[in-house]
Amino acid sequence: MMKNYSSSPPHCNSQTPHHIRDRNNKKQPSFLCAAPLRLSLRGYGFCMATLLLFCLGSLFYQLNGGPPRILLDIRQYLGNCVKNHWSVKKATDKLLIQKDRLARQLVSCQHFHKHMRGESTYLDDHGPPAPRVLPFPSQVVYNRVGKCGSRTVVILLRLLAEKHQFNLVSSDIHNKTRLTKHEQVDLMKNISNIPQPFLYTRHVHFLNFTRFRIEQPVYINIIRDPINRFLSNYFFRRFGDWRGEQNHLIRTPGMKDDERYLDINVCILENYPECSNPRVFYIIPYFCGQHPQCREPGTWALERAKQNVVENYLLVGILEELEDVLLLLERLLPHYFTGVLEIYKSPDYKKMGNMTGTVRKHTPTLEALQVLYHRMRYEYDFYNFIRDQFHLMKKKIGLKSTAQPPAYSPAFLHELSQRTPEPLDEDEELDADLEDANSWLVQP
């Protein structure tokens, strides 16, 4: 008798379609739950690997002063110029627009053709190497005061500029020290556009760059005993120096013989304009600035000049101690003045330096010196202030003084001031029609 299998109860291996569907429905949620887990772990690992690579790349970039070589190689083979080249071929509907863009990029990325030939393209891809680090300060202005050793220093600067490769710009304008507002702005912009490092020198009164929102350079200067400066200038205008017997005729061709051979004592005692204020008020305006009141002898201009020296000048030396001035400049501005003393003491330079001395210079009488000193009392106040500041800086740096004795001792000058019978009126008004205080003076 045959068994009836159809009526037997269902076994585990014999499942209806409903059972199969239910089992699949039960397995499906577990698969969907596991899939996101695997994707999130993979994505997390990828993010961490990318972050690690970025950190390592940044580290190598900072330690080596540039990106890692492997990143440079990757950029070389995956440069923008290659992609732009193929984008032009594909985007035929925008060919005209892409053509101009490609032309501009191929001009700026000339490494494309080298890349196709297998040549190195690092410089073309990254541009020229970074410029050299500029020394500080890299902008120096020497608004040289006339007859205070300026020609001697300019000769040294020319030799130093060739040696140290800085830009020396020496203006040939000697008789325009005061400028209008527009002339000031134009000059300051021209100075600021000089390639750095530079040293600009000219006979010009102090320029306040910050007033016109222009970066202020560092100032340096040299002055000398006011009476000595006046005497040097007086005789230089008339008889020149040892560079040539006729150079004074070229500098002052309109000077008549009566003026050229005028006795300096007569000039001082008889109040000739050349030997009186405001013309003998000469040094302070170089440091006071372009303000009209800087031209008037008085306390305001004196204090303004002192303030500018303290705030804007790295060094103001005195000509009587020129070797110490050069030594301090070498310490403070080594990228400009290193080796300046060696050049200054060399025999070849001595031959050139001796040619700048003024000829036929002599000292006025005691009576004339008394009058001249009192007219220059503000100049001497400023000169003494600069000398004290200069000696203080030498003491701080530890330099032993090699100063020469001054031409006129303080005791002698004090005696001169006591002998002056009547002081000049400080509130004396300036003649508006007076010739420019500097136009008459053609300086070296």
Beta strands at 218-223 and 139-142: parallel, antiparallel or unpaired:
parallel
Q: What are phi and psi of 200, to 5 degrees?
A: -105, 135
Beta strands at 139-142 and 167-170: parallel, antiparallel or unpaired:
unpaired
Name the nearest CA neighbour of 444 among 207, 183, 148.
Answer: 148
Name the nearest CA neighbour of 138 among 208, 192, 196, 188.
Answer: 196
Name the nearest CA neighbour of 274 among 294, 290, 259, 256.
Answer: 259
Report which DSSP code applies to 211: G
203 is catalytic: yes
The per-residue DSSP string of 221-246 comes to EEE--HHHHHHHHHHHHHH-BTT-TT
Please state, as a whole number, how many other Cβ atoms lie within 10 Å of the Cβ of residue 346. 13
d(CA 84, CA 173): 55
Structure tokens at 344: 């200054």
Report which DSSP code applies to 203: S
Catalytic member of 174, 203, 205, 248: 203
d(CA 115, CA 82): 9
Name the nearest CA neighbour of 218 among 336, 386, 90, 100.
Answer: 336
Active site residues: 203
